[in-house]
Structure 1
């Protein structure tokens, strides 16, 4: 199964960000973007890829330990950005050090369980809002969100999420996410 460790923002924070993102859909080129559904918004801490189900017990044990070693901490959505002209994202403000440390622990725990976490890129707190198959000038989108700073919220849980890739072959179909397990931070 295809898995990743993540922080899932609370409904109030998702609703607030969704209101800020809504007007972007009327900007030129918005129809060429694949917008992520607010219900799927998350901060990926460690992408684990395909994981053998036999490793799941050890993985969940290690992720639980990682969660328990880190206290709850405060974040807010802030700081829009883009990866070239293919991915539009919103960042995080607040205790980003605590979030980065949680991401490192989740990746290390996965490795100890025999699951190789994607270590090609250093952790960068971002939540993907939209993707483009072909480049779309994303600077106006980034500029629209540049001043956005959401209300603070508390990161209280670490989640293990399964990503089910579309099998239909329909262009633009998105993966479905399912939370496999969650652990309270600091417990």
Structure 2
């Protein structure tokens, strides 16, 4: 096949780290949609379901706020923040050369889109929708810990991985900031 016959691809799409990021984001989004759909169908109007000896309670809650039900009166602001996060991740993805960063950003992107989907399409209306939460650790009603969903878990895990990568000096381009610093000091 000659160069003229090859399909045109962008550098970002050809980048295996970008494909990894996108694959993780799509997987997180799909699992989030499925778990929320099942939760609404099975938990609506029911008392909390105790599983794992009370370690976890499954309970349907609709959260207008952020984590721990903070900022409940600012659903539209949270929607704009989620859109900004999605846009920033998509824009920086083309610079991505690190597998760790691809995994972390894929988790955050998938989770952000999952909760953003709720904010756009769920009641009470566009940009004001309540996020479906269903996992309550240790006690029902979020008495021991916040009630959350798969998207929240992905965002949290991705965020923790980003912090770890930063502490280890790992850069998005695959380089190590500590090694760069040592190299410049030795010159």
Specify the TM-score bucket, using the shorter chain as the normaliser: under 0.3
Give the structure with the larger strand fraction.
1
Q: If the length of structure 2 is used for normalisation, what is the TM-score?
A: 0.25
Larger radius of gyration: 2
Bigger helix share:
2
TM-score by length of 1: 0.25
